[in-house]
Structure 1
Amino acid sequence: MSYRKVLLKSIAILAVLFVIRYLAKQVLLLGFHKTAFTHWPGPCRSVSPVEHGAEDMVLTKNGLAIITSGIDVAYRGDVTDPRISAAPGKLFAFNFNKPEQNATELEFAIGTDSEFSPHGISIWEEGSETRIFVVNHRQDAETIEIFKLIGDIAKPKIEHIKSVQDPLFTSVNDVLATGPSSFYATNDGYLRFTAWRGLERLLSRPWGSVVHYDGSEAKVVVGSTFEYNGMGLSLDGQFVYIARPFTSSIMIYERSSETNDLAFHQEIAIGALPDNIFVHPVTGDLWSGCTAIGYRLLAAFENIDNWAPSLVLRVRPLGTKDRPFEQFKVYDVFSDDGHIMSSSSSAAVVGNGLLIGSVMQKLVYCDMKVDSTLSRDTY
């Protein structure tokens, strides 16, 4: 056999092995081998009037949750149910102090531009002022909308302050406030509102990034990322947590308080596809609304009548102050086969109360049997 034939045969074998490896990774990632079971931490109910998603949420110090609803996932180039794009973008408020009540829609205006497709959300509280930061997928640009929360917890209102736009905002997924006008933002890719985005994802192109905006301009603080999603900040401000669903893990970066640069610290595997991260304000535990079975979520994007199983995980740090997640424990707090909660994406907790959001359907509240501030091994 000639050298040329041996070379071609070797290349063909390597190509086949590469394809097999790629397909095996996709099968594992999308969860074709998984089965979803239902396990609630206590009685749970749907919260009206949220019907078109509660993709992300934040919590004020006095127990008011602000929730984004009506994201148009078409910005990612996915094949989507037209009903998703038709859903209006809204913000809702939910009072943990009166969990028996429904959520309340917050009315606002963004100048003369009514285009609002909210995604990630963050909060900055300083003194008596509370600001809300929201990712907005406009057709012509990615923007961060900054609002001021006014009124009391019984009758909250918001007032739009400004829209922030920058060329480094390519395909923004989440925002994390670091000041009244500054924030981090994750770009989950580069291309948006085009079918080419599917090819970008298929080839696993690391065209995403994490950027920091200081109030006047943005800079890249983590480059060459792939599908980075939700973020959270440690209670002492030392670490930034970033969900990385395509590796079923959470990335931990050490933050410079002076420059806001990020340095890789650790990656922790959690065995599910995390979307958004809620940092418990008392314990520092990470709570994440996760995708339980990936291919079922894709099916739900195509037809929202297809249920996508939901999962909420709590990641408890057991390490030292400088390396809090050197050791950790993962708890399966909530799981559902899709009947009461389809396509979970976010969570927030206060005491025994657990609020769970979804990408494009309902908002669910659970009265947990175990207080979230306690170090318990069962739910």
Structure 2
Amino acid sequence: MDSTKVTGPEIKNPDVGTSLAVQWLRICFAIFFSFLNRNRLKASREVESVDLPNCHLIKGIEAGAEDIDILPNGLAFFSVGLKCPGLHSFAPDKPGGILMMDLNEENPRALELRISRGFNLASFNPHGISTFIDSDDTVYLFVVNHPEFKNTVEIFKFEEEENSLLHLKTIKHELLPSVNDVIAVGPEHFYATNDHYFSDPFLKYLETYLNLRWTNVVYYSPNEVKVVAEGFDSANGINISPDKKYIYVADILAHEIHVLEKHPNMNLTQLKVLKLDTLVDNLSIDPSSGDVLVGCHPNGQKLFVYDPKNPPSSEVLRIQDILSEKPTVTTVYANNGSVLQGSSVASVYDKKLLIGTLYHRALYCEL
């Protein structure tokens, strides 16, 4: 078979076309959100600062650390450099990557992991991530990827001695049209959230504006792919309880966290919904207590319509006893954007807290 690439004369400079398309989408996005229900975006909400001692910004993270996952041994993975149509970016021309930090070190540094040859690094656009440790101690890293704003889930093997990732598999499926986050439950098995029902940008805007609540959670395995929960406004972060019996799903525009029971056939049934007064993004589990840590956006309008003079704020919540009738919700950290803009995730390990953002910096705190 002839593998020669054939390009039409109208695509002499694809970068220009791509740039114009992204600019057009950003303009449409800003106009669209100006008409969206202000309550869904919490457009008038401001936060009072809740500071933590012994915090500093992590060197080398300048354009977002949208998701963070920490292994039981203290190795933390960062998904950095996410770019989405309509959203601000501090490094629009730089590919994304995966960084690692050893939280057992006295002064841990974030180092970028090498990725095996054959994987397209130039279009790497990582979003939600999740790790899975197999029975033979092999560590798999699952990464939601948006190459050229498409939707895939990449599976890597983490090779600790080489500080590298070996790419194993790219997963695409019609039931994964707009993937946001994943939680791995096997070496090739995961739950994923779709934050939109459609993949087309215009239809995405329309479904959000009409509040169709068509987004869902999908279970993927090599043998079966199926929708296991649906009816979300915009399904976002996802995680699993320490005993593996429950799945937690953040619905960002509905300001809710859903608790779902996991069954042997991997189907999910809803147990409860926790209402919050903020836009909930990614969910992490405190391994020592089972508490849920939530990276939140107090004011979504500031997040989506970026103004450097009035930047998006940050908020981290801790939820204790989420299965009880009255879970305890406390604010761990809050900032008006003067230090950290657009917090999307918070993860804890051995009294160390990491806070990532959608497109800004990342914070390291000793609790």
The secondary structure found in structure 1 opposite 2:192 is strand
Which one of the candidate residues 81, 100, 112 is aligned to 1:105? Answer: 112
Offset from partner CA, 1:52-90 (integer Å, 9 cap, x none)? 11000111110011010111121xxxx334655433211
Report the secondary structure of 2:303's partner residue.
helix
* 1:179 and 2:190 correspond: no
Seen in structure 2, the aligned counterparts of structure 1 residues 82 and 34 have a Cα distance that, compared at 3 Å, is closer
Counterpart of 1:361, as a letter, is H
Give the match for residue 33 of structure 1. Answer: 44
1:330 partner amino acid: V
How much does 1:225 deviate?
2.7
Cα separation, 2, equivalents of 1:179 and 1:220: 18
Match of 2:131 in 1: 123
Does the CA contact (< 8 Å) of 1:357 and 1:363 recur in 2?
A: yes
Letter in 1 for 2:84: V
- Measured in 2, the distance between the counterparts of 1:36 and 1:274 equals 15
Q: Show CA shifts across 1:282-304 (max 9, x none).
A: 2110001100112111222xx56
- Could you tell me how far apart the structure 1 residues matched to 2:154 and 2:223 are? 15
Aligned residues between the structures: 332
The aligned counterpart of 1:138 is 147
- The aligned counterpart of 1:348 is 347
Number of the residue aligned with 1:314: 318
1:58 aligns with 2:57: no
Taking a change above 3 Å as real, the CA distance of residues 110 and 30 of structure 1, as seen in their structure-2 partners, is: farther
Deviates more, 1:138-147 or 1:89-98: 138-147
Please, which of 254, 279, 285 is the counterpart of residue 279 of structure 1? 285
Match of 2:60 among 33, 36, 49: 49
Is 1:203 the counterpart of 2:203 in the alignment?
no
1:218 aligns to what? 225
Query: Where has structure 1 moved over 6 Å in runs of 4 or more?
Result: none
- 1:335 counterpart letter in structure 2: A
Equivalent residue, structure 1, for 2:260: 253
Deviation string, structure 1 residues 195-230 (Cα, Å, up to 9, x no partner): 332222111122321110112341111133320000
- Does structure 2 retain, via aligned residues, the 8 Å contact 1:73–1:84? no
Q: Deviations over 1:130-166 (max 9, x none)?
A: 11100011237411101111125xx632211111111
State the partner residue of 1:190.
197
Q: CA 1:225–1:28 in structure 2 vs 1: closer, same or farther (change >3 Å)?
A: closer
Following the alignment from structure 1 to structure 2, what is the Cα–Cα distance between the partners of residues 282 and 151?
24
Separation of aligned partners in 1, 2:258 and 2:87: 29
Take 2:259 and 2:334, find their aligned partners in 1: how far apart are those partners? 25
Residue 128 of structure 1 and its aligned partner are, at CA, apart by 1.7
Percent identity (aligned): 31
Q: Is the 8 A contact 1:135 1:145 kept in 2?
A: yes
Distance between the aligned counterparts of 1:282 and 1:125, measured in 2? 18
Closer, same or farther: CA 47–151 of 1 in aligned 2, 3 Å = same
1:362 is matched with 361
Per-residue deviation, 1:193: 5.5
Find the aligned partners of 1:360 and 1:304 in 2 and give their Cα distance: 13
State how far apart, in whole Å, the 2-side matches of 1:156 and 1:305 are: 39
- Distance in 2 (CA, whole Å) between partners of 1:272 and 1:90 is 28
- Per-residue CA deviations over 1:342-371 (Å, capped at 9, x if unaligned) read 000001101221100000111111122xxx
1:68-123 deviations in whole A, cap 9, x for unaligned?
0111121xxxx334655433211100111125232001110462533211110011
Cα distance in 1 for residues equivalent to 2:114 and 2:308: 26
1:160-171 map, 5 Å: 160-171=167-178
Normalised to the residue count of structure 1, the TM-score between the two structures is 0.82
- Evaluate the alpha carbon distance shift between residue 290 and residue 110 of structure 1 in structure 2; reply closer, same or farther with a 3 A threshold: farther
Q: Take 2:155 and 2:106, find their aligned partners in 1: how far apart are those partners?
A: 27
Change (3 A) 1:38 1:212: same
Unaligned runs of 5+ in 2: 1-33
C-alpha distance 198-123 of structure 1, shift in aligned 2 (>3 A): same
Please give the alpha-carbon distance, in whole angstroms, between the structure 1 residues aligned to 2:168 and 2:211. 37
- 8 A contact 1:251–1:266 mirrored in 2: yes
Greater shift, 92-101 or 23-32, is seen at 23-32
Does structure 2 retain, via aligned residues, the 8 Å contact 1:68–1:120?
yes
Residue 286 of structure 1 aligns with an amino acid whose one-letter code is V
CA contact (8 A) 1:65 1:96 kept: yes
Partner of 1:372: none
Q: Which runs of 5+ in 1 are unaligned?
A: 1-22, 319-323, 369-379
Bigger mean CA offset, 206-215 vs 239-248: 206-215
- The CA distance in 1 between the partners of 2:174 and 2:238, in whole Å, is 21
Change (3 A) 1:32 1:112: closer
User: Aligned with 1:86: secondary structure?
Assistant: coil
